[in-house]
């Protein structure tokens, strides 16, 4: 091999490795008719949940706060200690994902399992488990948040969501045009929760990312019709060496055709009008100092 070819080969290998490293934080799960994509190193977070080739998820991500000190922090700002994808059934593709974040006083483990349906069934489910472990010598309080924004049938508008259960642990979001649904069940039941509509802006995301403590305001809905979101908040005191375990079960049932864009626009405008009236009466997040 000539020197020029060796240099070209070496450069190609280096570039390939750089591209691979740049994508190392993007993890993908596949099972049956479903695919999930997650970015572990940014608030893009869980950005795709595709069922039968159609993405149903706009965004899901997580925040936490230790001992109520200061604002909550996005999980991607923690030290990423390791990731693992694996295949736990006889179907092709990796269907389980584990991600661990380590800090000086605590660690957070995310464990996801994706279950797809038969091609064309329009159904899929995903179980998510979060373990927060106290690795320090002191007891502390933890607040853990899961933010969920689904765009059923890839439509940001035409969505409504409400909380049910006693205590409230189940959120059901519906695409009102054809009753497609996603259900979100928290175990144990979250201590606090909220549902609302984005637009204009993203009020709850802004609250989770600002410099103040955020406590969800226990709005149960149903919301108006528009770009719906849901959030759960778990609070727990954890002793040294102990862990707090959270379960979140998500299920999609999307089997009907996408409506005409004009119909979605009309539904979205109606929802914005209703949501605007409600928004003037309710606050999407309650501050600790209020």
- Angle among Cα 77, 169, 44 to the nearest 5 degrees reads 25
* The residue to which tokens 């849901």 are assigned: 230
The residues near 7 (Cβ < 8 Å, ≥ 6 apart) are: none
Number of domains in the chain: 1
Q: Are 265 and 156 in contact (CB under 8 A)?
A: no
Instruction: Find out whether 34 and 124 touch, Cβ atoms under 8 Å.
Output: yes
CB-CB neighbours of 237 under 10 Å = 12
Q: Is the residue at 1 inside a domain?
A: no
Distance separating alpha carbons of residues 271 and 197, to the nearest angstrom: 9
DSSP code at position 258: P
Q: Contact at 8 Å (CB) between 229 and 199?
A: no
Alpha helices in the chain (DSSP H): 3-22, 203-209, 261-279
Q: Are 50 and 34 in contact (CB under 8 A)?
A: yes
Q: What is the pTM of this model?
A: 0.82
Domain with 246 in it: 24-287
pLDDT tens, residue order, the chain (290 aa)? 454 444 433 433 333 333 333 346 899 999 999 999 999 999 999 999 999 999 999 999 999 999 877 799 999 999 999 999 999 988 889 999 999 999 999 999 999 999 999 999 999 999 999 999 999 999 999 999 999 999 999 999 999 999 999 899 999 999 999 989 999 999 999 999 999 999 999 999 999 999 999 999 999 999 999 999 999 999 999 999 999 999 999 999 998 755 555 444 544 554 444 444 444 444 444 444 44
Count other Cβ atoms within 10 Å, centred on residue 107.
Answer: 18
Query: Is residue 15 in a domain?
Result: no
Is 79 a member of any domain? yes
- Residue keyed to tokens 């149960």: 220
**Residue 273: inside a domain, yes or no?**
yes
**How many Å separate Cα 246 from the centre of its chain?**
14
The CATH number assigned to the domain holding 186 equals 2.70.98.40
- Give the distance, in angstroms, between the CA of residue 169 and the centroid of all CA atoms in the same chain: 16
Asked whether residue 7 is domain-assigned, the answer is no
Radius of gyration of the chain (CA): 21
What letters, b where the CB count within 10 A reaches 16 and e where it falls short, cover 57-89?
bbbbbbbbbbeeeeebebbbebebeebebeeee
H helix or E strand, kind and range, residue 195: strand 192-198
271 lies in a domain? yes
Answer whether residue 4 is part of any domain.
no
**Assigned domain for 122 exists:** yes
| C-alpha distances in Å from residue 88, one per residue of 19, 28, 121, 147 | 28, 14, 21, 27
């Amino acid at each position: 091999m000539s020197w020029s070819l060796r240099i070209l080969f070496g450069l190609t290998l280096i570039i390939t490795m750089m591209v691979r490293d740049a994508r190392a934080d993007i993890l993908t799960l596949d099972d049956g008719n479903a695919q999930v994509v997650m970015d572990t190193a940014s608030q893009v977070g869980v950005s795709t949940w595709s069922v039968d080739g159609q993405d149903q998820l706009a965004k899901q991500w997580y925040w936490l706060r230790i001992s109520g000190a200061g604002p909550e922090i996005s999980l991607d700002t923690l030290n990423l200690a390791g990731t693992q994808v694996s295949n736990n059934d006889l179907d092709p593709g990796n269907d389980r994902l584990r991600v661990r974040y380590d800090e000086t006083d605590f660690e957070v483990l995310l464990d996801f399992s994706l279950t797809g349906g038969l091609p064309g069934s329009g159904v899929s489910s995903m179980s998510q488990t979060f373990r927060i472990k106290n690795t320090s010598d002191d007891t502390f309080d933890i607040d853990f948040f899961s933010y969920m924004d689904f765009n059923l049938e890839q439509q940001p508008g035409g969505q409504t969501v409400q909380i049910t259960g006693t205590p409230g642990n189940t959120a059901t979001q519906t695409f009102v045009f054809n009753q497609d649904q996603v259900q979100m069940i928290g175990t144990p039941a979250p201590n606090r929760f909220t549902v609302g509509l984005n637009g204009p802006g993203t009020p709850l995301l802004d609250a989770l990312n600002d410099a103040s403590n955020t406590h969800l305001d226990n709005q149960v809905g149903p919301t108006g019709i528009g770009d719906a979101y849901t959030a759960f908040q778990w609070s727990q005191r954890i002793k040294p060496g102990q862990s707090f375990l959270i379960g979140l079960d998500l299920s999609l049932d999307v089997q009907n055709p996408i409506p005409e864009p004009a119909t979605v626009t009309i539904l979205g405008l109606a929802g914005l009008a209703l949501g605007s009236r409600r928004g003037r009466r309710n606050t999407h997040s309650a501050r600790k100092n209020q």
